[in-house]
Every structure is written in structure tokens, then in C-alpha cells.
Structure 1
Amino acid sequence: MSATVRAMREDDLVSVLSWRNHPDVRRFMYTQHEITASEHRRWFENSQGNPARNLLIFEHENVPLGFVNITQSTLGHIADWGFYLAPEAPRGTGQLLANAALSFAFQTLGLHKVCGQALAFNERSIRFHLRLGFSQEADLRDQHYDGERYHSVIHFGLLHNEWQANQRDTV
């Protein structure tokens, strides 16, 4: 079973947009409106000019099943990540995506730390980050307003040495 990430290409735009606009994905995003094709294309084209941003497609057995964004935002090899799966991805795919994406982040990019965020009502994402070995570093109360109500945002961090220790423990 090969699980990898690769650079997102222009021919991935339609799939990634349909995954992102799926109601089960969209409801956990900061921006919850349905994204238009032109808006999506502008985002992709703007991202191409940003060397700190890595837009990745997760593939399992050569089938695209997810999207990962790793953006270095801080000097010292620290980056934020975000991800989502194709709605039709089989159960267990999230773990495969995380393993491939974190391996890329720490081994290929040489990052020191990967940070993540989850809206506080996204309990599944919170549990997922904790299972991956991330530490909860902050609970920013009423940090995000979705147009109707405020939501807290949970911040996570995973250091390279913590990831390495987790890799040894799972072998």
C-alpha cells in the first residue's frame, strides 16, 4: 500500500474544489461559503508564487484522496498545516494522509514544528491531532466569527523530535 503526497497540479483543481465544497468538509472551515471555480483558481495561482506554501495531493495506491496545505509562516522552520479528505475516502484514510504529510513536513521540508488549528466544535479533528501526538497549546476563546456566532479555536503543535519518537513507537 503506497501512501504519498505530491505537489498539487492544475488538473487537480476540479477534484480539490469539489472536496472543499462538500458540506461535510465546508462546515469545519473558517470560510464556509461555497467557493466558486474562479475564486479557487485565483487561490491556486496566487499560491504558486509563494515558495513558503506547499499545496499537496494525498494519494493512496495512486488514487487522489485528500488535500494538504503546509505553509511556513515563521522563520526557523515552523509551519501551519491544514487538510481534508475526499468525501468518498475509506475509513482510516486520515491516518495515512497524516503519516505521509507529516513525513513530508519533517523529512522533506526539514521542519522543526508543525502547527494546526481546529474550531472547538470539530471534536473529531481535535481527537485526531491528539492521537497524532500533537500537544494542545492554546484555546483561543471566541476567536472566530462565522457571520452568526463566535467559536473558540484550538491550537496544536508537534515538534520534529516528538514526531520521531512517535514513529519509533509505532514501528
Structure 2
Amino acid sequence: MSTERLRPLRAEDLPLVRAWRNHPAVRQHMFTTHEITADEHAQWFQRQQADATRRLYLFERDGVPQGFMHLSGVQPGGVCEWGFYAAPDAPRGTGRAMGAATLAELFEVEQVHKIRGQVLQGNQASLRFHEALGFQPEGVLPQPYVGADGQRQDVHCYGLQAEAWRATRAG
């Protein structure tokens, strides 16, 4: 049986996470699609560390890093947002396992009220991922984002409240 866990991201993890983030398969679905430099990544990490409502996690299976989770606005009773990606070579199902672990962390430990996610229109896997985890569509922002190809894209908004998550776990 495999062991899965979220653990706080550490400075020594930054080269690995940046390599994942800069991989074309990951980068194509990001809101910023340029290649991140080491200096830019280090500065981003420092800014995140200064915000008490941010959480950065590495998802590991059997001690092997397989994904990254970024959370903002985390506070008891609050509404937070998440962003994430699996390692480009992660086994199938990693995203769902990472998502499930993060939902448990946010709703059981951090005691947030709601989690929100935003997905670019062309990212069908992420749209299905949110729905599979119980997120509800909350609307579409029409074409606020220009993708790497220069085309405008809609952004799909999803939300999941603690009560709904608990109800699906109980059922």
C-alpha cells in the first residue's frame, strides 16, 4: 500500500517545482506561460513565505515528489483559492489523490468554508478534475485571458463548500 502526503514546500524543492512548472505540458495551462527563471522563482517563494494565508505543498507518494499545490486566502471560516499541477511524469491518478489530500487538509485541519478554483477553457482535464472532486460550476469569465497562442480564453470558475464536501464523504 502506498503512502501519500502533503508536506510544506521547502527552498530545496524549488529547482524541482520550477522544472515541472516550466515543462511545456504544464506551462500551456498556466495563466502565465513564460519560462520562469531561478531568480523569479526564488523571489516568488519569498513573497509567499511572507503571507500567513498562503500554503505551498509538495505532494509525495512513497516519498517521491509528484505534484505541487498552491493555496491562498487560507483561514478558518474563510474562502481560499487553489492552484496545482502534477509532475509531468506523475502516474495517472496523481491529480485526484493530491486534490483529495488537499481538500481534507483544508476542510478538516484549516477549517476553511469554501475552496475556489479557476480553469482555462482549453484545460479539459482540469475541468473534469474539479467536477470529479465535487466542485460546482459558478460561472464563466468571458475571455479575460490571452493564451500563449495569442487567443483570448474564457476562465471557468468552480467552488466547493465544506458542507458539500462532508456530505459527499458521508454518502
TM-score of the superposition, structure 1-length normalised?
A: 0.94
Q: What is the one-letter code of the residue matched to 1:160?
A: A
The amino acid of 2:124's aligned partner reads: E
| 1:167 counterpart letter in structure 2 | R
What are the equivalent positions in structure 2 for 1:8-87 lying under 5 Å apart?
8-72=9-73, 76-87=77-88
Q: Which residue of 2 aligns with 1:93?
A: 94
In the alignment, structure 1 residue 119 sits paired with structure 2 residue 120: yes
**2:72 and 2:80 in contact (8 A); partners too:** yes
Question: What is the Cα deviation at residue 145 of structure 1?
Answer: 2.0
Percent identity reads 40
- Conserved? CA contact 1:70–1:105, under 8 Å: no
Distance between the aligned counterparts of 1:23 and 1:65, measured in 2? 17
CA distance in 2, matches of 1:85, 1:21: 12
Kindly provide the amino acid, as one letter, of the partner of residue 129 in structure 1. H
Counterpart position of 1:164: 166
SS at match of 2:73: strand
Aligned to 1:95, what secondary structure does the other structure show? helix
Residue 110 of structure 1 is matched in structure 2 by 111
SS in structure 1 of the partner of residue 104 of structure 2: helix
- Return the letter of the residue paired with 1:141: P
Residue of structure 1 in register with 2:7 after alignment = 6
Conserved 8 A contact 2:54-2:70: yes
SS at structure 2 position matched to 1:89? coil
CA shift digits 1:26-52 (9 cap, x unpaired): 000010000000000000011110001
Shift of 1:149: 2.0
1:150 is aligned to 2:152: yes
Name the amino acid aligned to 2:70: N
CA–CA separation in structure 1 for the residues paired with 2:167 and 2:104: 13
What do the CA deviations read for 1:149-168 (whole angstroms, capped 9, x no partner)? 21100000000011112222
Name the SS of the counterpart of 1:96 in structure 2: helix
Give the drift of 1:73.
7.0
CA distance in 2, matches of 1:93, 1:73: 23
Q: Distance in 2 between matches of 1:145 and 1:75?
A: 34
Gaps of 5+ in 1: none
Pairwise CA distance, 1:74: 8.5
Aligned AA for 1:84?
Answer: Y
